[in-house]
A and B are shown apart, each in its own frame.
Chain A
Amino acid sequence: MPKQDYFDKGQLTDLSYLILLVLIKPRHGYIIMNEIINLTEDKVKIGPASLYTTLRKLTEAGYIHLKENQENRKTYQITEHGMDILQIEIDKRQKLADYGKKALEEASYEEKK
Chain B
Amino acid sequence: MKKKNKYWVGNGLLFSIDKNVSKFEKFANEGYRLAGVNRFGIYKFVYDGNPGRSYAIDIADICLDSNHFQDYLEIFESAGWKHIFSSLNAHYFTAEKGTLPIYTDKKNEVVKYKNLFYTGRKGAAFLLTISVIFFSLFFLFNVMQFELPFAIYLLFLGITGGSLGGGLMMLYGTILNYYRIKKKIKYSL
Interface residues of A (CB under 8 A from B): 13, 15, 28-34, 45-54, 66, 74
Find chain B residues with CB under 8 A from A51 CB.
75, 79
Taking a contact as CB atoms closer than 8 A, the residue among A33, A34, A50, A74 that contacts B103 in the complex is A50
A33-B78, A47-B100, A48-B79 known; 14 new pairs, CB 8 Å cut-off, are: A32-B75, A45-B104, A46-B104, A47-B102, A47-B103, A48-B102, A49-B58, A49-B60, A49-B103, A49-B109, A52-B72, A52-B75, A53-B108, A74-B67
Whether, in the assembled complex, B178 has its beta carbon less than 8 Å from a beta carbon of chain A, the answer is no
A54-B106 Cα distance, complex, nearest whole Å: 12
Q: Shortest CB–CB separation between residue A11 and chain B, in angstroms? A: 12
Interface size bracket, B side = 20 to 34
Q: Roughly how many angstroms separate A45 CA and B98 CA in the complex, as a whole number? A: 14
- CB of B125, distance to nearest CB on chain A (Å): 26
Is residue B65 contacting chain A, with contact meaning CB distance below 8 A?
A: no
State how many angstroms separate the Cβ of B137 from the closest Cβ of chain A: 43
B74 within 8 Å of A (CB atoms): yes
The smallest C-beta distance from A79 to any residue of chain B, in angstroms, reads 18
Verify if B76 is at the interface (C-beta below 8 Å from A).
yes
Q: Is the CB of B74 within 8 A of A30?
A: yes
Tell whether, in the assembled complex, residue B78 and residue A49 are in contact, meaning their CB atoms are under 8 Å apart.
Answer: no
CB distance from B14 to the nearest CB of A (A): 18
Contact flag A30-B107 (CB < 8 Å), given A49-B102, A52-B60: no
Q: How far is the CA of A30 from the CA of B70 in the complex (A)?
A: 11
Cβ contact of B78, chosen from A13, A15, A31, A45, cutoff 8 A: A31
Q: Contact flags (1/0) for B67-90 with A, using CB distance below 8 Å?
A: 100011011111101000000000
* B111 interfacial contact with A, CB 8 Å: yes
Residues of B within 8 A of A47 (CB): 79, 100-105
Is B121's CB within 8 Å of the partner chain A? Answer: no
| B24 CB, nearest partner CB in chain A, Å | 17
